[in-house]
Amino acid sequence: MIHSVARGLYQLSDSKPFQVPDLVAVACKIPKAVLYLFSALSFHKMTTQIPHEVWIAIPRNAEPTWLEYPPIHSMRVVPEAYKNGIEIHKIDGFPIKVYSREKTIADCFKHRNLVGTDTIIEAIRAYKSQGGAKTNQIMQFLKICRVTQVAKPYLEALL
């Protein structure tokens, strides 16, 4: 027996359910999608917020994205910011693109009015507590996102 996970995406009924069916559906249906902002923060366990939409980045010149389910929030990103910092993680055997922890912090500063300062501070603290901080990489991504001067005081205080 087969059941529908999303439009055009099916799974055998007797197989183990997907761990994160929304992410699998987005990865399969929108191959250029990269988990972004709130979804990337949640994926990396750098926030206590639970996103109600799957936040993705797509290249600025990509085809418009639309899915019936799950709800998505797509943001068009310039090529240099889009291509840098992508990691590929396997979930249920499917490759899921997500921005690295360092790139996610830079993206949060880029969209600080949307994300909020409290979320940025929470993310930096979680990043620090997870260990393996790579401040040089964060600084490179801040430069790409053109928010180095905005982020520097926060990073100096919290890292």
Here the CATH number for the domain that contains residue 53 is 3.30.460
Answer yes or no: is pLDDT of 7 > 80. Answer: no
Domain limits for position 64: 18-158
pLDDT digits (tens, 9 = 90+) for 104-159: 999 999 999 999 999 999 999 999 999 988 999 999 999 999 999 999 999 988 87
- Does residue 130 lie within any of the structural domains? yes
Pairing of strands 72-77, 54-59: parallel
- Does residue 30 lie within any of the structural domains? yes
Q: To which residue do tokens 């603290």 refer?
A: 125
- Does residue 11 lie within any of the structural domains? no
- Does residue 140 lie within any of the structural domains? yes
- Does residue 120 lie within any of the structural domains? yes
- Does residue 79 lie within any of the structural domains? yes
DSSP string across 56-108:
EEEETTSPPP--SSS-EEEEEE-HHHHHTTEEEEEETTEEEEEE-HHHHHHHH
Q: Which residues contact 108 (CB under 8 A, 6 or more apart)?
A: 37, 41, 115, 119, 120, 123
Q: Which residues is 95 bridged to in the sheet?
A: 90
Q: To which residue do tokens 């260990």 refer?
A: 131
Alpha-carbon distance of 44 to 134, in angstroms, equals: 15
The identity of residue 67, as a single letter, is L
pLDDT digits (tens, 9 = 90+) for 50-78: 889 999 999 998 887 777 888 999 999 99
- Does residue 4 lie within any of the structural domains? no
- Does residue 6 lie within any of the structural domains? no
The number of domains in the chain is 1
